Amino acid sequence: MSIKIERAILHALDPAAGTAVLSEEPMNIDEEVREFLETHFIKCLESDEAQKAVLREEGSFGQRMRGLGSGDQITAEAFVAESRAVAERIFSILGANPDIPRGDLICMLCKESGSGRTYFAALKMNYYDGFAHYYMNGNLSIVGQRVLLPGIGRKLEEAFIVDLETLETQVIEKKYLMMDESRSAYISEQVLGCTVEVSERSKLMAVKKAVQKANKEVLGDRKVVEQELMSRIHGYLMDEDEPTVGEMCREVLRDYPQVRPMVEEDIMSNHIELGDSVLVQPRTMKRFEKQSVKTPNGIEVKIPADLFSDPNSVEFIQNPDGTISLLVKNIVL
């Protein structure tokens, strides 16, 4: 995917400073900053942790997004005004709820190459602590940095991106403990005023947890069974172009049909439909790529998921005393 940043503006949202520091005009973007912003934007847009939503046109935020226009119609003044409104809203929420992390807010107008789609993006760069060297009077020392921004290699925990033509929105957010002692996803609920769908990654994790629960409560809580089922999840997702939750359950539990209704009911209790897609990024699949077998005396063997059920590679032997022996075959030393 290739995008072009039309405008970007930075606002500092640190309640400890007493007031938000809001920029009055877009920033100048050099090539290094452009790469930084583009990388974070694309990672957020393509993230399988992003939740989909469609802004209600009758809602206040939806009306403001529709009022911006699209493409070259959007003036610098309108963009700056909207970015400041978003920043002020988020800052007011931060000030009233100290558990929400402070950070900088970068708002951008981006145009996708080819399709010409225009996006309004708000990326919240939560601060993290670090250290840097400090030079003074011929001496070097180390000084703490409390407002470092996440680098290209870090993923953002909070962001939203709006397609200004369709009002389709991608939301990345976390729930925080609020002052009323509830846990709230404040971006979707209090900033955007929309209802989000379950993310692709959350669907996969819901399947995983439901399968683990079924193994524990029905199948005897056997580690080797759980690992076999996890390897089947990996195999199904690798083989299918359009994976769905229901088909995954059917394939993974093909030898354990008695627990499938329980697993499906558990999944649907999380507002996930069996016909929903499960489209996750390769990095999310890494936790399923290998299954680890560890003995009480510390010996650990990691088995690739595609070989876990291959009798020509490994074999699990049930011993009379209830233990299991692992036979690894065709070893070349």
In a domain, 333, yes or no: no
Of 146, 163, 196, the position where a domain reaches its end is 196
Considering the domain architecture, whether residues 134 and 234 belong to the same structural domain is answered as no
Considering the domain architecture, whether residues 146 and 290 belong to the same structural domain is answered as no
What is the distance between the alpha carbons of residues 222 and 216, in angstroms, rounded to a whole number?
A: 7
Per-residue pLDDT of the chain (333 residues; tens, 9 = 90+): 789 999 999 999 998 888 899 999 999 999 999 999 999 999 999 999 999 998 887 889 999 999 888 777 899 999 999 999 999 999 999 999 999 999 999 999 999 988 889 999 999 999 988 888 888 888 898 988 878 889 989 999 999 999 999 999 999 999 999 988 899 999 999 999 999 999 999 999 999 999 999 999 999 888 888 888 999 999 999 999 999 999 999 999 999 999 999 999 999 999 999 999 999 998 888 888 887 777 777 788 888 877 777 778 888 787 887 777 888 887 766
Considering the domain architecture, whether residues 218 and 178 belong to the same structural domain is answered as no
Predicted local confidence at residue 319, as pLDDT: 80
Considering the domain architecture, whether residues 178 and 205 belong to the same structural domain is answered as no
Considering the domain architecture, whether residues 45 and 133 belong to the same structural domain is answered as yes
Q: Residue 20: phi, psi to the nearest 5?
A: -75, 145
Considering the domain architecture, whether residues 253 and 275 belong to the same structural domain is answered as yes
Considering the domain architecture, whether residues 105 and 155 belong to the same structural domain is answered as yes
Containing structural domain, residue 239 = 201-328
The sheet with strand 103-112 has its strands ordered as 21-22, 3-13, 103-112, 118-126, 158-163, 168-172, 51-54
Considering the domain architecture, whether residues 60 and 82 belong to the same structural domain is answered as yes
What is the distance between the alpha carbons of residues 105 and 84, in angstroms, rounded to a whole number?
A: 10
What global pTM score does this model have?
Answer: 0.84
Of 161, 196, 231, the position where a domain reaches its end is 196
Considering the domain architecture, whether residues 240 and 261 belong to the same structural domain is answered as yes
Predicted local confidence at residue 333, as pLDDT: 60
Of 151, 169, 196, the position where a domain reaches its end is 196
What is the distance between the alpha carbons of residues 216 and 262, in angstroms, rounded to a whole number?
A: 12
Considering the domain architecture, whether residues 58 and 103 belong to the same structural domain is answered as yes
Predicted local confidence at residue 21, as pLDDT: 95
Using DSSP, state whether 49 is helix, strand or coil.
coil
Considering the domain architecture, whether residues 249 and 111 belong to the same structural domain is answered as no
Closest CA to 227 of 299, 173, 302, 285: 302
Considering the domain architecture, whether residues 21 and 154 belong to the same structural domain is answered as yes
Number of domains in the chain: 2
In a domain, 62, yes or no: yes
Q: State the DSSP H helix or E strand holding residue 260, giving kind and residue range, or none if neither.
A: helix 260-268
153 neighbors 138 (Cβ within 8 angstroms): no
Using DSSP, state whether 155 is helix, strand or coil.
coil
